[in-house]
Amino acid sequence: MFELAMTAPQALVEPVSEALMDELEALSVSVEDADADTEAEHALFGEPGMPPPRAGWDRSVIKALFADELLAQQALTLLLAQDWTTGLHPQGLTEMAEQDWVRLTQSQFAPVPVTEQFWIVPTWHEVPAGATRVMRLDPGLAFGTGTHPTTRMCLRWIAAHAQPWPRVLDYGCGSGILAIGAALHGAQVIDAVDIDPAAVESSRANAVANGVALNAGLPDAAQGVYPLVLANILATPLKLLAPLLCAHLAPGGHLVLAGILARQADELRAAYAPWLALEVSDEDDGWILMTGQRA
């Protein structure tokens, strides 16, 4: 691709941009301040509540992207031949390096170790040596890729307490990462709920991709009591949800809460005190994991 750069007075910015896009086959057009970072630079916007001092920059750089060099040159020739483009000056034609955006995005997500054996691995990565339990998960619309300390602490707890839990509730499931983690560690029947329909969809898709069965749905899908309830949300909703989450805890059931900052431990302890004693059982980067068992 080729980028054609031209300086233009304010009056030409709009008609030249329109001609580039509508008639001259530009793929995109951007406009920058030609005087940026120089003494001639002027603020474009006024103080809050005041009108802008002017409608645009004194001189702008118009940059237009073309599929090939010939199209870019033809566009420039045609523009300069117009009687209305006086003041338009070509600055250069530059070949742009192709950027592989997919690869660039993917490179930012590496496999995440939860324990030595249990890893969260994006689908485009090889499974690391030594990973014997693997969740395949790609970043998507819903929260939960394994990179956040709150998610990692919950997963560590799940791995450390692996057993065939007969029922598990993942409340605020996001991508379904905790529910899938529980399934990979032996849990039998898992309800994963979220107020966000996109999270419900994402949990379903991720469960299928990992070959595990989940009942993903909106919060109403949580029914009855569970020997294990997981909720990684935030301190304020967790306090409001205390009666509901505890009502879903079976006698002797375990509650695992995350999304709580270290300084919020006492508030959470107080909110859950009518049902159980919460304790801090893990800490990661300022976040804590609070767990408790119902009598």
Q: Which residues are annotated as a binding site for S-adenosyl-L-methionine?
A: 151, 172, 194, 232
| 194 lies in the site for ligand SAM, by CB under 6 A | yes
With CB under 6 A as the contact rule, the residue among 26, 79, 131, 177 that binds ligand SAM is: 177
Quick check: helix, strand or coil at residue 108? coil
| Residue 210 C-beta: closest distance to ligand SAM, Å | 15
Query: Other CB atoms closer than 10 Å to residue 98's CB: what's the count?
Result: 7
Q: Which is nearer to ligand SAM, 144 or 292 (CB)?
A: 144
Of positions 195, 213, 270, 277, contacts ligand SAM by CB under 6 A? 195
Nearest CA to 289 among 252, 259, 244?
A: 259
Only one of the segments 88-96, 195-203, 221-229, 263-271 lies at the binding site for ligand SAM (rule: CB under 6 A); that segment is: 195-203
What sign for the dihedral angle of Cα 146, 151, 153, 159?
A: negative
Query: From residue 238, how far is each of 9, 119, 161, 227, 260 by CA, in Å?
Result: 56, 27, 22, 18, 9
∠ CA 184-188-190, nearest 5°, is 85
Distances (CA, A) of 282 to 178, 205, 273: 16, 30, 19
Owner of token pair 């900052």:
261
Residue 6 within binding range of ligand SAM, rule CB under 6 A:
no
- For residue 201, state whether it binds ligand SAM (rule: CB under 6 A): no
Query: Pick from 5, 219, 265, 281: which binds ligand SAM (CB under 6 A)?
Result: 219
Helix (H, G, I), strand (E, B) or coil at 120: strand
CB of 152 to ligand SAM, least distance (A): 9
Minimum CB distance to ligand SAM smaller for 31 or for 134 = 134
Closest to 192 (Cα-Cα) out of 139, 228, 145: 228
Residue 282 touches ligand SAM, criterion: CB under 6 A = no
- According to the binding rule CB under 6 A, does residue 169 interact with ligand SAM? no
Of the two residues 195 and 273, which places its CB atom closer to ligand SAM in the complex? 195
In this structure, the strands spanning 112-113 and 118-121 are: antiparallel
Nearest distance from C-beta of residue 217 to ligand SAM, angstroms: 11
Bridge partners (DSSP) of residue 261 are 287
- For position 114 contacting ligand SAM by CB under 6 A, the verdict is no
For 281, the token pair is 């059982």
Please report whether residue 4 would count as binding ligand SAM according to CB under 6 A.
Answer: no
Q: What is the three-class DSSP state of 35?
A: coil
Site pattern 242..271 for ligand SAM (x: CB under 6 A) = -----------------x------------
* Residues contributing to the site for ligand SAM (CB under 6 A): 142-144, 151, 154, 171-174, 177-178, 194-196, 199, 219, 232-233, 237, 259
